[in-house]
Structure 1
């Protein structure tokens, strides 16, 4: 069990990342691509990713990111942000001594390969090759789905923030994930080797992740800025592929022409299920405008609406999903 020890200052400095982290999604999707878990959620994506990604890049990345166990911390540098270029700059500027130390630890867990030994050498060419492989993989396995990934993560964050502000930090942490238990001032997380982490006033970044599966994860090095990555638990049918610059863009434009741009965005947002507040956030409109769009979609039979606690939840119907399918959006 992992035990994260908070002080009052840590609770005051704790925050939830506003956007998905592209490098965490790359790393955790590599784990998912090599596993068989979450078939209903990730199955189609996994088959597409494993066939469309450049195989030389996949081979290199899998040597650093096996499906289980340790992956080097430098693959997910802290405070890298939501922009891929900026995140890659952070990755590639990792001190070579840190890269070597982390790869030495990886070699203690599984056999080193010529590729990992080349990276550990500290030479610039292998690091540039790593940057190219990450970017190439992201372009084929992550970027086409980024709208769905981001939409779900942003909606999850909105729900968490509402929990936090409405019910307080104790309720928020107690309901973070089924594999997490909050016994103040310690956050206990199952499925970890017995470890204690003392935040000592540094605070904690909570990073929601689309590809994080079943249990939260973290960086191994406790001296790095503390981050806890937690699963957002997307439902089946959440991932939709958008071919940038391809025929799907034309079909999406046709859907927007049929429904109107905002209403088309609202229909897509309901594919993963959302409240009216989340719908407003995802569409970039006011709550009143989002409610109006939802009413039109519901009256057309494209979504359903049900009460969930103090809010209402909108979900797409079979007819609405067929309309999105006709627009070429789902996987």
Structure 2
């Protein structure tokens, strides 16, 4: 049981995110990849095949050991707050201080099976070594591109719909009605929210409020950050519909494109079915203008994008070759 104690101020500081957090979805999907609930069985089979085709076995082994389907995985992989942009989330995670990395990886070691006398598999990450962190960031991008990106629109739509339903409850009946209606795994017994949990924990909000984040891949019970000193977050499962895997996802050309040219560059290519300025492209990619310009230049060099100058700005648009690549043709 997880007991979350509210003060009067905390009820006024209760917040509800409108959609899932990309880092939590990435982490929790790894649990369903390893030990899928029947609902996630079809997705797990498709994801495993796609990962094998992409040659990402080493990435998957590292990530599933770093995020085991157990009661603990490092908090730095799911930064406090709410992140919908993968690049922002990865950058935040990899900017974690060395001391915190060491402590959190140290807590993971017994779970990962690295006991005394055996090499610590994640010593590079624990030490904040740039090469190890870059490899982790790359593995997260590649995994997300293959297993989550093809299904993200459908999963996010279901989560947004569930969050909107909860938001209406708040407007009509207040924040306590929200706490009463999050699902059978939670019980509001003022001033404590009781959450079914694999371990016994207590979290005193102490005026900090609580951010509730809907999640498609969260299963069995809600989940909170392990460190009670971090900004309080509670991730809860949404009501899921049965028709969330698109038929074309069985042969995910989109996932293969992400692996081929990188997820950010692939996202840019998909967006450029209509013209975008560099700043518009940057905003939609959640990146800087200079980074968006570099991606556009690389795509232009490959003949996938054309760039036209309009006064003081430029406009990037996908070519026929780029469109064929996006849709898996030719």
Same fold (TM over 0.5): yes
Counterpart residue number, 1:310: none
1:79 maps to 81
Q: Return the offset for 1:244.
A: 6.4
Q: Secondary structure at the match of 2:122?
A: helix
Unaligned runs of 5+ in 2: 256-326
Q: Distance in 1 between matches of 2:236 and 2:230?
A: 18
Match of 1:154 in 2: 160
1:196 aligns with 2:202: yes
Q: Distance in 2 between matches of 1:109 and 1:183?
A: 33
When the two structures are aligned, how many residues end up with a matched partner?
Answer: 246
Find the residue that maps to 1:163 and give its secondary structure. Answer: helix
Give the aligned partner of residue 21 of structure 2. Answer: 21
- Name the counterpart of 1:179: 185
Question: Within 5 A, what are the aligned runs for 1:94-113?
Answer: 94-112=96-114
Candidates 175, 189, 209, aligned match of 1:169? 175
Pick aligned residue for 1:49 from 47, 50, 56: 47
In the aligned structure 1, how far is the partner of 2:182 from the partner of 2:233? 14
The CA distance in 2 between the partners of 1:239 and 1:201, in whole Å, is 41
> CA–CA distance in 2 between the matches of 1:199 and 1:101?
23
SS at match of 2:121: helix
Give runs of ≥4 in structure 1 deviating > 4 Å. Answer: 241-246
- How big is the alpha-carbon RMSD for the aligned residues of Structure 1 and Structure 2? 2.0
Unaligned runs of 5+ in 1: 247-327
The alpha carbon displacement at 1:80 in A equals 5.0
**Mapping 1:214-253, distance limit 5 Å:** 214-240=220-246, 243=252
Question: Is the partner of 1:122 in helix, strand or coil?
Answer: coil
Q: Alpha-carbon deviations, 1:15-61, whole Å to 9, x = none?
A: 11122111100100000110131x2x211110111121211110110
Q: Do 1:16 and 1:206's aligned partners in 2 also have CA atoms closer than 8 Å? A: yes
**Aligned counterpart, 1:210:** 216
User: CA separation in 2, counterparts of 1:186 and 1:15?
Assistant: 16
Return closer, same or farther for 1:220/1:126 CA change in 2, 3 Å cut-off. Answer: same
Q: Aligned partners of 1:227, 1:244: CA distance in 2, in Å?
A: 35
SS in structure 1 at match of 2:4:
strand
Match of 2:10 in 1: 10
Give CA deviations for 1:83-122 in whole Å, capped at 9, x if unaligned.
Answer: 1111111011011111110011111334226531222122
Contact 2:68–2:112 (8 Å) recurs in 1: no
What SS class does the counterpart of residue 228 from structure 1 fall into? Answer: strand
Q: 1: distance between equivalents of 2:253 and 2:212?
A: 30
Which whole-Å CA distance do the structure 2 matches of 1:165 and 1:45 have between them?
A: 35
Deviations 1:238-258 (A, max 9, x none): 233655669xxxxxxxxxxxx
SS at the partner of 1:229? strand
Q: SS of the counterpart of 1:115? A: coil
Mapped to 1, the partners of 2:89 and 2:111 lie a distance apart of 27
- Of the structure 1 ranges 140-149 and 164-173, higher mean CA displacement relative to structure 2 is found in 164-173
The answer to whether structure 1 residue 143 and structure 2 residue 149 are counterparts is: yes
